[in-house]
């Protein structure tokens, strides 16, 4: 049975899994990323991959890699990741990991989505998109069984969808974006200084604070509008919500479903299935492993 290593590099932690082609996790290893402004973090990636292979007792036939940033057009490196993980941009991993094949590279949201469609909340789905709701809003889409990559590798940055053309520009210049409408980084601005993070905001809204209730309702309405628009563009079977804000549970999903009842186009009663991500912090490494397996397949 084929055995591969999936690696997911975050800002603070590296997660590495040894996985076989059935999706069984043979071993997992987590260690600090060690991003100290130098390229030393790369050695930690090598150590994590080597250690998880040792723990599993396997010689992997391939490796897959995921991290923040925009993947290159050829899918073997990250083309753009300013300000973090120096040396990541343009770096190909085959030689330093000692991989027998080129190492396919995804961004973290793409990898999480592939993990969820392989083994998680949207298992087996050929049409799905993921929104990761956290400090910002990440995203990725699978269309007709294929990861949506686009011309430059930019496809799937769903958080930069514009909801208000008169709104202020977000980090990439999009006016009134979904990311700014619900991302944790704008909570203080959206609540006129009353709250500093989404957990605090949701707790206050659930306790009846009128400022919190208004801000949270406005945020969820914006999210529902964005999801309904994306459903019309991508026609998914599943809409997957992940990230820290998605852990708000019914405080998010209840009002979101209510708004989607009004916004979503449902031909002949068919609706997209709204689900919470199921794989937790393993999703990215599993998605990277799935890509490695696909890369070694004769049909890849």
pLDDT band at 299 (very low <50, low <70, confident <90, very high): low
The model's pLDDT over 17-61, given as tens digits with 9 standing for 90+, comes to 999 999 999 999 999 999 999 999 999 999 999 999 999 999 999
The gap from C-alpha 284 to its chain's centroid, in whole angstroms, comes to 7
- Please give the Cα distance from 89 to 183 (Å, whole number): 25
Domains of the chain as residue ranges with CATH: 3-107 (3.30.420.40), 123-278 (3.30.420.40)
Q: What is the pLDDT of residue 300?
A: 44
- Its pTM stands at 0.94
- Average pLDDT over the chain, rounded to whole? 96
The model's pLDDT over 101-153, given as tens digits with 9 standing for 90+, comes to 999 999 999 999 999 999 999 999 999 999 999 999 999 999 999 999 999 99
Residue 200 pLDDT > 90: yes
- Spell out the long-range contacts of 281-284 with Cβ–Cβ below 8 A and sequence spacing 24 or more: 281/13, 281/15, 282/15, 282/17, 282/25, 282/28, 282/115, 283/111, 283/112, 283/115, 283/116, 283/120, 283/242, 284/6, 284/8, 284/10, 284/15, 284/66, 284/108, 284/111, 284/112, 284/115
Q: Give how far Cα 231 sits from Cα of 141, 208, 262, Å.
A: 11, 32, 14
Q: What is the pLDDT of residue 109?
A: 96
């Amino acid at each position: 049975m084929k055995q591969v290593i999936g690696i997911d590099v975050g800002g603070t932690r590296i997660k590495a899994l040894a996985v076989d082609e059935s999706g069984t996790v043979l071993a997992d290893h987590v260690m600090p990323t060690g991003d100290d402004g130098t390229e030393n973090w790369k050695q930690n990636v090598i150590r994590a991959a080597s250690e998880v292979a040792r723990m599993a007792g396997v010689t992997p036939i391939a490796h897959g890699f995921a991290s923040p940033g925009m993947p290159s057009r050829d899918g073997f490196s990250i083309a753009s990741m300013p300000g973090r993980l120096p040396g990541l941009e343009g770096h190909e991993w085959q030689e330093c990991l000692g991989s027998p094949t080129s190492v396919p590279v995804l961004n973290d949201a793409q990898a999480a989505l592939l993990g969820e469609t392989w083994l998680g909340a949207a298992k087996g789905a050929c049409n799905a998109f993921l929104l990761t709701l956290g400090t910002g809003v990440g995203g990725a889409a699978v269309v007709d069984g294929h990861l949506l990559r686009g011309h430059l590798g930019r496809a799937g940055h769903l958080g930069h969808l514009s909801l208000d053309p008169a709104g202020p520009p977000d980090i990439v210049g999009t006016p009134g974006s979904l990311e700014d409408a619900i991302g944790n980084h704008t909570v203080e601005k959206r609540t006129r200084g009353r709250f500093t993070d989404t957990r605090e905001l949701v707790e206050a809204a659930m306790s009846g604070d009128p400022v919190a209730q208004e801000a949270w309702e406005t945020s969820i309405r914006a999210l529902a509008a964005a999801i309904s628009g994306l459903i019309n563009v991508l026609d998914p079977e599943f809409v997957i919500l992940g990230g820290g804000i998605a852990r708000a549970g019914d405080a998010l999903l209840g009002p979101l479903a209510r708004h989607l009842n009004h916004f979503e186009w449902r031909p002949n009663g068919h609706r997209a299935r709204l689900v919470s991500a199921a794989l937790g912090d393993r999703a990215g490494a599993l998605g990277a492993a799935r890509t490695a397996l696909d890369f070694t397949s004769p049909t890849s």
